[in-house]
Structures are given as structure tokens and as C-alpha cells.
Amino acid sequence: MHSGQYLVFRGIQLESSRALRANTDRRPITFTSVNLESPMILNENFWAAKVPEENNASPFTFDFQSMELKDVERRCCVVKVSEASSAKKPVSCSGVVVHPRTGIIICTGLPFSRFIIDGDPLYWDHDFLPPRSFSAKLQICVTFPTDTKQSARRATITPTRSKTAAGQREAAAELLMLVNCVEFKHAFQAVFQEADQWRFHCDEDEELLRDFHFLSWFAVLRVGVVLDSSQDSGTIPWQSSAPLQKGCPVVACGSPFGSLCLDLFISTLSRGIISNLAGEDNAVILTDARCLPGTEGGGLFVVKGAGSVHLIGLIVSPFGWKANEWIGLTLVCSAQLVFRNLISCLSVQDPLRNVWLHPGESDIQMSTAAHESKAVKYPTVCFVDSGQFWGSGVVVGSRLVVSCRHVVNRKSKVRLKFHHRDRVHDSVGDVLFSTKASSPYDLALVQLRDAVPEAVVSRMCQSFIPGESVVVVGYGGLGRSCGPSLTCGVLSKAISWNCQPVMLQTTCAVQAGTSGGAVVQRCSGELLGIVSSNTRDMATKVTYPHLNFSVPVTVFQRLLQHFEQTKDVNVFRELDSTEKEIRRVWRLQGAQSKL
């Protein structure tokens, strides 16, 4: 069970019915600890290409040309699916133009799940669905941004309806197939356990529950127009997901609300980092790049060097809830594995095989610029389990870990897990100190019984600059299954009393289970603070992961140094004797007027 703490508010009244511990005084605003489960090649001649013989030289060449960030928008589109003469409402999503000259597009399979006529695929043991599995009256319309410089050179491959509006173009498309990314499916089922009450849609009606089982399905479409006839309009540059690392900068591109108000929302960009990875070749990708409904099927691009980007994934769901807590992360499927499953589904006789076939995935490598950490090392963050609750902890010295009071939960002993590369190191720690419940500083100190190999102890920051880029490292969201998650943001505010910082606020996405995690300076890796809580509106029961609070390291750094010299744990008792003004800050109460 997650150990999560929320800073809760609702106007000037507080609802605290879900508190784990009863409050001894009724304050307007307070902390309430709540029980929570804390480059692919496409042949230029679509029909005439010959499939290469095994062991013979391949006529296909790799397209390693880079794509600039400014080009991402015109490689994404909006797909609207409807049924002629039907009462069913049209469904729209985003898509990625993988090869403009042949008009090949990939998008999420979710919109097509509502038009299946050939039985219930949820119980089929199929890896793909052909067009005949869907309504014969299926209509697909694709809208994509236009490049005015290239519009005069566009030509049609086959006669088709196409119209152009200011800044965008619309064309009819045909469904070639739906493919199931089995690696994503298996990883998804292993990570997102039903017992954790994961949900990836706003509602829970039967139709959307059906869609839940369609998260691993993707549609391959073809439009009958040349979407871009320029010299550099070959296959979209893409990279294998296997070498990805947490913290890689990424850009998501999709169209919020699908086909609604395309003039404003088509191909919208959002920046973030890789937050976590799971499954074979990192089939499941989580990013903190903020996306909205309708961006499903859009692209996730890894940023390389000075602005060049490569496709690494397709957006599956722009949001998710765990036990009714919004986690603030976007779920993505590896594009490489979608392509791999497409290839395995196509027969040699199928002309589409010539579009997807390439010499071999073993040659696909991510450039070092895409996944190098640039020698920035973040402090080692571990998983802390006190039995009923769990959270995070930060290594701050030789066999010393700082966590939160509500994570250790008054226990004298806790279990810790350290994830390092593909290994997990288990340890036991003794709780040396925990602040009193009356202290605004929610801190605990744990001493490990054995040393942790390759643990990183970061330098502690001495100054806090609002607006600087920060990263939160902790076990929120996926918990122990995939190691710590990373989310990026800025230090939005540093609150001081008597010129001493007493509270930090960040815009990073923080979920239950991140308590005790690290706030670090993104470029230097310096430790800024220990995550204590995020925010929850108890009246509406809404959690705000991007408004969270941390204890500055300057609060306990001097005491920690004194302890390492004297081994006297009583030095931390100073944290229990704080001024009432500091307690007021942590209760979100304004200063009392002297008038």
C-alpha cells in the first residue's frame, strides 16, 4: 500500500474524513495523510519493390536523416472514424504520418473498436485484424497540417476526395489492418495490476471498458494523396526504444480533443522527459510530457543534440488514474515494437510488406546523444517499505537514508530496495529518528545494516532559485515494479522564514509513493529537498500532482553533519522545536495581521 501524504484544501474549510490519523485539533487547513496504494525504410515504389532474398544484399537502405523539431508538426495528423448512415458518433484521435509519399499513417486502434462486426476480438487469439473485421460502411477522414511551400508540388496517386483549408488539408483514407503490439500488451498487464485500480479513461461505461482492452492495438491507414513530395519526405526518422534511459528529453505531438477545433489544436507540442520504462525493449514508456484527450495515436519524439528529433513511441493514453489518483503521466507504446509486429503479420505476397521490410533491427541503434546522461548523476533513491505503507528514501551518507515520517509509520525497522540497472539490492534499515507528528518537517532518518554498492550521494544545494529546472526522483506511479520514476518541472517557489528556506514548491508530477523522494537540480544533480506531499482537494477528491511540497535540505544538512561526527541522534530533536510561523506555512495559513 502506498504511503501518500497530501496537502489538502477547499476554500477555508477542510474535509478530513479520509485521514489515517485523527487530528487532535480542528484547523482550517492542515496536512492529512491518506491511505493510498501509494530508421525504418519504406520502398519508394510502393507496388513494384521486390522482397530481398535471404542472405542477399538488400535494396533497402536506412534513412538516418534527422528531423528538426519544427518538422514534427507536419508529421502528425488527426484521424476521424465514422460509419455512414449510422447513429454512432464519429470518433477521432491523433496519428503519425510515417511515410508521406506513400500516405502511410499509424494511429491508435481505439476508435476502430466501436465498429467491429466480426465477433468480439477481446477473446480472440489474434495479433491483427483485417479490414473485413470492420463495418463495410466505415469512413475514415485524415486531416494534416499543410506546408504552403510544398503545396504547389503535391500530386495524387489515386483519385480521391481531398480539400484544403487554411493551414490544413483533409483526405479520405482506407484501413489496411489493425495490429496488436503483443510486447506492450504483456508489459502493460504485468505493470498495471488490476488490484491497483488503474484506469485510463474518464468514464467506466461498458464501451470504454472495451477500449481498455484495445490499448495495445494500432491501425495502419493509407491516404490516396502524396502528403509531402519534398526531397526529405521519406520515412519518418525513428529509433529503437531499447537503449532509452529515464530522463531522456522528449517531445510529444498530438491534437488535443481530436477533430474538435483543428485550427487551434492540430499538432500541438509538449515537452518532458522519459519518466519510466518497462517490458521487452522498453515496450511501455511513461513520460511527464503533458497530453490531453484526443492525442492518443500521436507521436513521442526523443530530442537529440541541438534540436533534432526521432520518433520513439505512439501515445496510448494521455492520462491515467491509480486508485482514483491522477498520476500526471502519459502512457506510450514503443514505435519500434509496433513496426516489428506489423512485419510479422504481413505475408511475403502482401504488397504492404515491401513498405515495412528492412534489413534487420539489429542495425537500428540510438545515437549516443539521445541517451547519454552527460555525466550528471542523481542521488540514489530507494524503495522504503514499513509494512502497511511504502514510499521513497534518499541516500545522504554512508549507510544513511532520509525519508518521511509518514513513510516509516512509527516502525523501528523498515525494508529497502535499491534498483541499479537490471539488479535489485534488498536491505534492512533501522529507523534512528522520526520527527513528531506536531513537527511541520515530515522527516525520518534510517541507517542501513549493510552498505549499498554503487550508491550515489549528491552534494546538497545551498541556494534555491525559483524557475530553475528540477527533477523529482521517487517511487510514485509504478512503485517498486520498474524502479524510481523521474518527472521534470521547475522550482516554482522557495518559502523562507527569517531568511531561511522552510518549504519548496515544484511543478513536477508527484504521486503517492514519491514521499521521501529527491528533488534535484536537473543539470548539476545537486539535492535540493525531500518530497513531503502533493495537493488534494478533499471536497472534490481531486489530486493535483503538479503542486507539491518538499523540505529543503538546508533544514537538516547541518544536523546531519553533526550526527555523522558525534553519532548522537538527539541532534535531530531540533526539528521538533520549530517556530509557530513555520508550522503555519506548512498548514497553508497566511501570516496573522498585526492590525
Q: What are the residue boundaries of the structural domains of the chain, listed by start? A: 3-35+377-586, 67-371
pLDDT given at position 588 = 75
pLDDT given at position 49 = 27
* 251 or 233: which leads in pLDDT: 251
Q: Residue 247 gets which letter from DSSP?
A: T
CB-based contacts of 19: which residues, under 8 Å, 6+ apart? 32, 33, 34
* 553 or 38: which leads in pLDDT: 553
**Which of 109-123, 151-165, 397-411 is predicted least confidently?**
151-165
Active-site annotation holder among 201, 358, 371, 406: 406
Is residue 301 predicted with pLDDT exceeding 90? yes
pLDDT given at position 118 = 65
User: Is there a catalytic annotation at residue 263?
Assistant: no
CB-based contacts of 237: which residues, under 8 Å, 6+ apart? 39, 63, 64, 65, 66, 67, 309, 310, 311
Fold classification of 3-35+377-586 is Thrombin, subunit H (2.40.10)
Look at strands 138-145 and 76-83 and give their pairing: antiparallel
pTM over 0.85: no
| pLDDT band for position 108 (cuts 50, 70, 90) | very high
| pLDDT band for position 119 (cuts 50, 70, 90) | low
pLDDT given at position 543 = 79
User: Is there a catalytic annotation at residue 419?
Assistant: no
Is residue 548 predicted with pLDDT exceeding 90? yes
* 40 or 234: which leads in pLDDT: 234
- Closest-CA residue to 503 (of 3, 2, 7): 7
User: Is there a catalytic annotation at residue 406?
Assistant: yes
pLDDT in tens, 64-90: 456 888 889 889 999 999 998 777 788
Is residue 16 predicted with pLDDT exceeding 80? no
pLDDT given at position 102 = 84
Alpha carbon distance 162, 308 (integer Å): 31
**Which of 243-252, 256-265, 552-561 is predicted least confidently?**
256-265
pLDDT given at position 202 = 59
pLDDT given at position 211 = 64
What is the mean pLDDT of the segment spanning 181-204? 79
CB-based contacts of 527: which residues, under 8 Å, 6+ apart? 379, 394, 396, 458, 459, 460, 461, 518, 519, 520, 553
Fold classification of 67-371 is Thrombin, subunit H (2.40.10)
3-35+377-586 matches 67-371 in fold: yes
Is residue 137 predicted with pLDDT exceeding 60? yes
Alpha carbon distance 60, 554 (integer Å): 59
pLDDT in tens, 364-392: 333 333 333 444 789 999 999 999 899 99
Active-site annotation holder among 442, 485, 546, 550: 442
Q: Exposure pattern of 57-72 as b/e (b: 16+ CB <10 Å)?
A: eeebeebeeebebebb
pLDDT in tens, 455-482: 999 999 999 999 999 999 999 877 777 8
Active-site annotation holder among 3, 308, 403, 515: 515
